[in-house]
């Protein structure tokens, strides 16, 4: 039986074909033709026919020439990672509150900046790729290079932006967005359960606090898998003991290496400030039930980077610390190493992005790998300046609100709130209005204070 959630059964199958190729499980041409015939007949909701093809895909072996080593368990991941610092020492306690405030502020500012052009960045518009469409939109309004929130003003070019509450004409707070929701959820889990949380605690917290209609792609499929396996009636709950993170992350979930876990890294990085290894472990526990392989590694990479950003301010060093917590021979690590080399050989961010599009342009706009490269390039070419790095991350296109939020989180943690000099901050009025039950409206000042308390408990319980 096929379960559908984010997309139709046929759309899930279409994406699974792509994912199989990415994982090194080559789809035979005859099987592709069977899929194409269903698509041509518009059999989008033909559960039975799609289910047959999906089961055939699940039986495909991995190509013996697939050259990557990509374990999905924490022990296996740690065996494959390169040397790293693991711990950097505790960040100065006197600075932490300000740095947490800076990180929350940066995440919100970057997310709000990218929200209106997220769709444009991922899919492009009017035949232009996302980055080109964003630049054209800004140039037509004489707002290039990007320096402030997007205007919704009509310039007669038929290019469309969305999310009016995040446009310069209206913005007064951080509106609901999954890039903010998951950071709040990490805080809530650590407050409720503590540092010994497991992946089921995460799934149950989602059920208690997140409306299903604000959950996307891999997360949508994973929570559907989990809830189909976990009866609501208390006398049957033991029947769900069979369900594993392998099942929830893989069953009919072709989005398992997309960006959805990567955007959930921040709360774990904050809690483990100064301890990238522990941050990566927390990120693994969060990611393993919704994602596989590079999807998991993306969250681990950025959790480690964010934890390190409370102590380290050099972008190359930060990326190196992140890479030390994921398998050295995975696709994400390979891309990041190549990205660092490309950054050293290009004079500016957009030359670097030309390289990203040339080498990783075939990936979906919501994939982990290409979006990680945008953030890395924005950090380097923005010189870790809070304002410039965030603006470059959104100019880069692809998943603009995700990348703006991650870049803002990192640079905000580096500089701290009192040192931020950016026009992107005042319009938010220090306020987040999310769709997470229990966090309906809250200030970033309050979130920083709560994050500090969580961090101190995590630090005390783990001895760093």
Check: pTM over 0.95? Answer yes or no: yes
User: What is the token pair recorded at 261?
Assistant: 């876990």
* pLDDT tens for the 464 residues of the chain, in order: 666 789 998 999 999 999 999 999 999 999 999 888 888 777 767 888 899 999 999 999 999 999 999 999 999 999 999 999 999 987 788 899 999 999 999 999 999 999 999 999 999 999 999 999 999 999 999 999 999 999 999 999 999 999 999 999 999 999 999 999 999 999 999 999 999 999 999 999 999 999 999 999 999 999 999 998 877 766 666 656 789 999 999 999 999 999 999 999 999 999 999 999 999 999 999 999 999 999 999 999 999 999 999 999 999 999 999 999 999 999 999 999 999 999 999 999 999 999 999 999 999 999 999 999 999 999 999 999 999 999 999 999 999 999 999 999 999 999 999 999 999 999 999 999 999 999 989 999 999 999 999 999 999 999 88
Q: How is residue 28 annotated by DSSP?
A: P
What is the C-alpha to C-alpha distance for residues 440 and 41, in angstroms, rounded to an integer? 45
431 membership: H or E segment, kind and range: strand 431-432
Strands, DSSP E only, in 404-451?
431-432, 442-443
Q: Are 252 and 12 in contact (CB under 8 A)?
A: yes
Q: Are 413 and 99 in contact (CB under 8 A)?
A: yes
Map out the domains of the chain with their CATH numbers: 9-58 (no CATH), 74-114+176-462 (1.10.4080.10)
What is the C-alpha to C-alpha distance for residues 335 and 387, in angstroms, rounded to an integer? 26
């Amino acid at each position: 039986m096929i379960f559908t959630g984010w997309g139709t059964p046929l759309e899930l199958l279409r994406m699974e074909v792509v994912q199989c190729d990415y994982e090194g499980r080559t789809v035979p041409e005859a099987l592709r033709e069977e899929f194409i015939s269903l698509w041509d007949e518009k059999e989008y909701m033909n559960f039975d026919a799609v289910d047959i093809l999906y089961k055939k895909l699940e039986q495909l072996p991995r190509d013996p020439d697939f050259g990557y080593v990509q374990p999905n368990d924490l022990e296996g991941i740690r065996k494959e990672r390169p040397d790293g610092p693991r711990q950097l020492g505790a960040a100065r306690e006197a600075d932490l509150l300000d740095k947490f405030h800076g990180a929350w502020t940066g995440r919100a500012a970057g997310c709000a900046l990218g929200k209106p052009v997220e769709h444009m960045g991922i899919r492009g518009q009017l035949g232009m790729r996302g980055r080109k469409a964003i630049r054209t939109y800004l140039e037509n309004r004489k707002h290039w290079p990007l320096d402030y929130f997007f205007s919704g003003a009509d310039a007669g070019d038929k290019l469309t932006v969305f999310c009016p509450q995040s446009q310069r004409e209206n913005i007064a707070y951080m509106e609901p967005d999954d890039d903010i929701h998951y950071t709040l959820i990490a805080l809530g889990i650590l407050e409720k359960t503590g540092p010994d949380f497991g992946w089921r605690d995460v799934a149950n917290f989602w059920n208690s606090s997140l409306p299903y209609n604000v959950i996307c792609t891999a997360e949508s499929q994973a929570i559907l898998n989990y809830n189909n396996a976990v009866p609501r009636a208390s006398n049957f709950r033991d029947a769900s003991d069979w369900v594993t993170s392998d099942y929830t992350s893989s069953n009919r979930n072709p989005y398992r290496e997309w960006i959805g876990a990567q955007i959930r890294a921040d709360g774990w990085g904050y809690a483990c400030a100064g301890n990238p290894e522990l941050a990566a472990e927390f990120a693994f526990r969060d990611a393993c039930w919704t994602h596989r392989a590079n999807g998991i590694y993306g969250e681990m990479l950025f959790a480690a980077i964010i934890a390190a950003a409370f102590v380290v301010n050099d972008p190359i060093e930060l990326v190196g610390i992140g890479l030390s917590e994921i398998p050295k021979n995975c696709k994400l690590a390979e891309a990041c190493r190549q990205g660092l080399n490309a950054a050293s050989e290009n004079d500016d961010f957009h030359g670097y992005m030309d390289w990203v599009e040339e080498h990783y342009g075939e990936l979906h706009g919501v994939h982990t790998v290409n979006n990680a490269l945008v953030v890395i390039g924005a950090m380097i070419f923005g010189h870790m300046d809070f304002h410039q790095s965030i603006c470059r991350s959104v100019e880069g296109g692809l998943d603009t609100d995700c990348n703006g939020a991650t870049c803002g989180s990192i640079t905000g943690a580096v500089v701290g709130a009192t040192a931020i000099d950016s026009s992107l901050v005042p319009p938010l009025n220090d306020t987040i209005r999310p769709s997470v039950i229990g966090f309906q409206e809250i200030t970033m000042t309050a979130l920083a204070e709560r994050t500090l308390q969580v961090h101190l408990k995590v630090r005390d319980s783990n001895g760093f």
